[in-house]
């Protein structure tokens, strides 16, 4: 029996010595009675630990924790996986995992304890490394998502929560297709198939849907995760939000397109300058060449056609056709309208700043019209020079003939004639040089035009200050004027006592003057509201015929008082959506003016008809008419024709602004002694510019 115990003890010692972990055996008091080589190898302790307490190789701060563990061991019979700090012989701290078990004799008597301490330094280092990586992944603004091989989400970092709006709790276990728009699901099986072959996918653009339904563009990279045998077990994906980058790219593309449009416009203007600078180019060639340069400068060159009309003669592109999608600018030379530049689209295009046209195209067509004005004026001057040169050459020829006839009789006179001929030729050469100088003068005129434009902007600012002052003054006048008229009415009604005949006559003069002044104040306030954009149109669907007939009926009494015939020719017309009050104001002004400037026995006719997609209204009179030189200015604020110096000169300006506010046009055809016809249009489809 004793031999058996010795054999068992020897086997136990062999087992303890072969263990990789440090093993210590203690008695019932916890004093060390046996230890293995691993204790020496890992912790440096040797025979000096014999008889010492188990806590000799435990850091002082962890001794209470170990003692509590030993108590637990005594109660339960074992202590498992207690993390504590071990202490080497040279006082170096080492993280260890401690396991303790009670030792008993075969009869069950307690003989001591056996403690196994495992160095977990590498394990702790690996855990720390994993912790750092987890912190890095969670702190990145990019979305980092781990998927299983079916595309279900295993992990989901903070960056993903911020990017997609879903929390990790909401997403883990769900398919990655959850964040994709339903109408654009990803080819998940195809993508996983590529990754299962061990390949990576980099720089893949994907459009996903935020929790709030907003679309996000991201740049995605996917890589397979393999086990120690090289088998793909999971997939990791990193997504970077490039939505803002895409927006910037789109904005940059738009700016590049806009710049190319401006380059086309400059090419058009430079092309016109090239025509002018080329010697011997006629006005007709310049006008036709300019027409051909216009389509490439507009937004849709393929469907663009153009025409220039000068003094009744047309110059147009081969495909020219007048359409409703039209843009035009008048050519005015020395205050006289001599023609116009017109641009039309052959097909409908989306609405822009001016119908389908860009606001820059309005500026361009005005610039082209301005250049045509300068070129026409220059060519007229050039023609006069040529006429003068021809006249000079005719004179030279006459002088030559006279000189030849007189040569035999008077050689001296012939010499004088020759001198005169040379002088005339020199003058002709100077005239030819002046032609070249005119080209440079034209360039100087262009520079002067730009300077005038700057001055014009300054004048506009002053004009705006003037308008503000006038509007403010009108407001200040309105209240006392209203009070004055109210008192006049009370006095005329004898509410404030009786008046003499002379006082009543003077009061009537005051009342008429006050009413005229109030009308002027109202017009000033109306034009102020129009220019400041504070007036809103109250549009409603109305029958034009009913609206026009109602105004004509009101004005019939005024016509009868002046013995003027007022007739109307109004057929049934399609309804328009307009501000009835504003259109009535326009009609009232035009009919009132027609009656005012038509002599007794004259006629005023109001007509209306449909013309294309517009309603055309005309007020025709047999009055004194308007001089052609005044026609371009009659719709200007405060302008009055010489023979009509009455009123404030605001009525026609208000009419023009109200018509244009409805998307229409207004114009006048007249001549002295020929009567006047005022016309305006209302589009069947209205575009308000107020």
The pLDDT value recorded for residue 291 is: 86
* Residue 14, CA distances (Å) to 11, 31, 35, 36, 115 in order: 5, 21, 11, 9, 16
Mark 582-609 as b/e (b = at least 16 C-beta within 10 Å).
bbbbbbbbbbbbbbbbbeeebbbbbbbe
The pLDDT value recorded for residue 686 is: 47
Q: Judge whether residue 498 has pLDDT over 90.
A: no
* Residue 358, CA distances (Å) to 347, 349, 370, 533, 586 in order: 16, 11, 19, 21, 29
DSSP state of 672: T
pLDDT in tens, 266-321: 677 777 877 777 777 788 888 888 888 888 888 888 889 999 999 889 999 999 99
Residue whose tokens read 């012989």: 89
* Maximum Cα–Cα distance across the chain: 179
Query: 116 near 84, Cβ under 8 Å?
Result: no
Beta strand 603-611 pairing with 565-569:
parallel
Looking at the DSSP bridge assignments, the partners of residue 542 are 576
Beta strand 666-670 pairing with 603-611:
unpaired
pLDDT in tens, 179-222: 788 766 677 777 777 777 878 887 788 888 888 888 888 888 88
Tokens of 335: 């205050």
Q: How far, in Å, CA of 371 to CA of 273, rounded?
A: 9
Q: Pick the more confident residue, 526 or 603.
A: 603
Q: How far, in Å, CA of 401 to CA of 177, rounded?
A: 103
Mean pLDDT of 640-658: 71
Helix or strand run (H / E) with residue 35? strand 32-35
The pLDDT value recorded for residue 689 is: 41
pLDDT confidence band for 668 (50 / 70 / 90) = very high
- Helices then strands, counting H and E runs in the chain, come out as 15, 21
List CB contacts of 554: < 8 A, sequence separation 6 or more.
588
Of 319, 324, 289, the closest CA to residue 304 belongs to 319
Looking at the DSSP bridge assignments, the partners of residue 124 are none
Beta strand 201-209 pairing with 215-226:
antiparallel
- Write the DSSP string, 113-140: EEEEEEE-HHHHHHHHHHHHHHHHHHH-
3-state helix, strand, coil in the chain (%, to 5): 50, 25, 25
DSSP state of 142: S
The pLDDT value recorded for residue 609 is: 92
Q: Pick the more confident residue, 423 or 484.
A: 423
pLDDT confidence band for 690 (50 / 70 / 90) = very low
Indicate the average pLDDT of the chain: 79
Q: Judge whether residue 142 has pLDDT over 90.
A: no
Q: Judge whether residue 663 has pLDDT over 50.
A: yes
The pLDDT value recorded for residue 511 is: 63
Q: How many CA atoms lie within 13 A of 347 on its CB side?
A: 6
The pLDDT value recorded for residue 329 is: 92
Q: Mean pLDDT lowest for which of 25-34, 85-94, 228-237, 489-498?
A: 489-498
The pLDDT value recorded for residue 603 is: 94
What percentage of the chain carries pLDDT values higher than 70? 74
- Write the DSSP string, 609-647: EEETTEEEEEEEE-SS---GGGGGGTTSTT---GGG--S
The pLDDT value recorded for residue 133 is: 65
Record the pTM: 0.32
Helix or strand run (H / E) with residue 180? none
Q: Pick the more confident residue, 625 or 380.
A: 625
pLDDT in tens, 411-426: 766 677 678 778 777 7
pLDDT in tens, 29-83: 888 888 888 888 878 888 888 888 888 888 888 889 888 888 888 888 888 888 8
User: For residue 368, how many other CB atoms are within 10 A of its CB?
Assistant: 25
Q: Pick the more confident residue, 338 or 202.
A: 338
What percentage of the chain carries pLDDT values higher than 90? 11
* Residue 265, CA distances (Å) to 94, 269, 345 in order: 81, 7, 17
The pLDDT value recorded for residue 435 is: 67
Mean pLDDT of 574-580: 90
User: For residue 534, how many other CB atoms are within 10 A of its CB?
Assistant: 9
Q: Mean pLDDT lowest for which of 224-233, 293-302, 394-403, 591-600?
A: 394-403
Rg (CA), the chain: 51
- Write the DSSP string, 548-569: HHHHHHHHHHHHHHTT-EEEEE
Mean pLDDT of 238-250: 78
Mean pLDDT of 319-335: 90
Mean pLDDT of 586-603: 91
Highest mean pLDDT among 273-277, 521-525, 539-543: 539-543
The pLDDT value recorded for residue 328 is: 92
Mark 213-229 as b/e (b = at least 16 C-beta within 10 Å).
eeebebbbebbbeeeee
Looking at the DSSP bridge assignments, the partners of residue 226 are 232
List CB contacts of 632: < 8 A, sequence separation 6 or more.
332, 335, 337
pLDDT in tens, 622-642: 998 888 888 888 888 767 765
Q: How far, in Å, CA of 659 to CA of 332, rounded?
A: 23
Highest mean pLDDT among 175-184, 392-401, 545-554: 545-554
pLDDT confidence band for 251 (50 / 70 / 90) = confident
Our CA angle for 475, 476, 481, nearest 5°, is 95
Q: How far, in Å, CA of 172 to CA of 150, rounded?
A: 13
Handedness of CA 482, 488, 491, 496 (dihedral sign): positive
The pLDDT value recorded for residue 688 is: 45
Q: Pick the more confident residue, 311 or 261.
A: 311
Looking at the DSSP bridge assignments, the partners of residue 541 are 577
């Amino acid at each position: 029996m004793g031999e058996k115990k010795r054999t068992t003890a020897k086997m136990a010692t062999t087992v303890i010595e072969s263990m990789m972990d440090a093993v210590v055996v203690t008695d019932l008091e916890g004093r060390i009675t046996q230890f293995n080589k691993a204790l020496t190898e890992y912790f440096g302790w040797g025979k000096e630990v014999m008889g010492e307490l188990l806590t000799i190789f435990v850091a002082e701060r962890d001794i209470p924790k170990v003692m509590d563990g030993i108590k637990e061991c005594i109660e339960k019979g074992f202590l498992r996986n207690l993390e504590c700090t071990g202490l080497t012989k040279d006082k170096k701290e080492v993280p260890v995992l401690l396991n303790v078990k009670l030792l008993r004799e075969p009869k069950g008597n307690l003989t001591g304890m056996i403690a196994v301490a495992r160095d977990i330094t590498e394990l702790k280092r690996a855990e720390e490394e994993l912790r750092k990586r987890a912190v890095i992944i969670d702190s990145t603004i990019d979305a980092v998502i781990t998927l299983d091989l079916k595309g279900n989400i295993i992990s989901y970092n903070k960056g993903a929560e911020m990017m997609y709006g879903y929390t990790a709790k909401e997403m883990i276990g769900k398919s990655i297709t959850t964040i994709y728009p339903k109408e654009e699901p990803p080819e998940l099986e195809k993508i996983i198939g590529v990754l299962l072959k061990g390949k990576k996918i980099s720089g893949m653009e994907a459009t996903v849907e935020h929790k709030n339904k907003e679309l996000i563009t991201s740049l995605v990279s996917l890589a397979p995760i393999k086990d120690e045998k090289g088998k793909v077990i999971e997939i990791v994906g990193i997504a970077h939000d490039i939505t803002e980058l895409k927006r910037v790219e789109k904005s940059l593309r738009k700016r590049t397109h806009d710049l190319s449009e401006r380059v086309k416009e400059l090419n058009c203007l430079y092309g016109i300058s090239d025509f002018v600078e080329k010697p011997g180019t006629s006005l007709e060639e310049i006008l036709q060449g300019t027409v051909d340069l216009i389509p490439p400068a507009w937004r849709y060159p393929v469907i663009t056609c153009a025409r220039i009309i000068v003094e009744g003669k047309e110059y147009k592109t081969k495909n020219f056709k007048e359409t409703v999608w039209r843009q035009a600018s008048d050519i005015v030379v020395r205050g006289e309208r001599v023609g116009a530049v017109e641009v039309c689209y052959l097909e409908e295009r989306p609405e822009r700043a001016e119908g389908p046209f860009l606001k820059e195209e309005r500026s361009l067509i005005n610039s082209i019209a301005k250049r045509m004005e300068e070129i026409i004026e220059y060519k007229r001057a050039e023609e006069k020079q040529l006429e003068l040169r021809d006249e000079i050459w005719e004179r030279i020829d006459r002088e030559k003939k006279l000189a030849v006839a007189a040569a035999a009789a008077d050689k001296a006179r012939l010499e004088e004639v020759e001198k005169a001929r040379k002088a005339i030729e020199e003058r002709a050469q100077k005239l030819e040089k002046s032609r070249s100088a005119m080209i440079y003068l034209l360039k100087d005129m262009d520079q002067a035009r730009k300077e005038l434009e700057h001055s014009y902007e300054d004048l506009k600012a002053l004009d705006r200050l003037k308008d503000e002052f006038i509007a403010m003054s009108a407001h200040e006048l309105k209240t006392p004027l209203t009070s004055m008229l109210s008192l006049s009415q009370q006095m005329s009604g004898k509410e404030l006592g009786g008046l003499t005949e002379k006082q009543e006559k003077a009061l009537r003069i005051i009342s008429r003057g006050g009413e005229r002044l109030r009308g002027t104040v109202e017009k000033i306030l109306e034009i102020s509201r129009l220019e400041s954009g504070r007036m809103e149109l109250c549009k409603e669907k109305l029958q034009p015929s009913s609206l026009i007939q109602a105004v004509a009926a009101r004005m019939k009494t005024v016509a009868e008082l002046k013995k003027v015939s007022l007739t109307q020719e109004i057929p049934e017309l399609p309804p328009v959506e307009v501000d009835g009050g504003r259109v009535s104001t326009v009609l009232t002004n035009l009919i009132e003016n027609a009656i005012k400037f038509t002599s007794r026995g004259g006629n005023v006719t109001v007509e209306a008809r449909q013309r294309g997609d517009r309603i055309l209204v005309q007020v025709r009179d047999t009055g004194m008419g308007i001089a052609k030189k005044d026609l371009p200015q009659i719709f200007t604020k405060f302008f009055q024709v010489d023979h009509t110096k009455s009123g404030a000169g605001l009525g026609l300006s208000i009419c023009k602004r109200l018509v244009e506010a409805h998307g229409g046009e207004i114009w006048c055809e007249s001549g002295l002694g020929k009567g006047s016809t005022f016309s305006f249009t209302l589009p069947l489809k209205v575009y308000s510019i107020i």
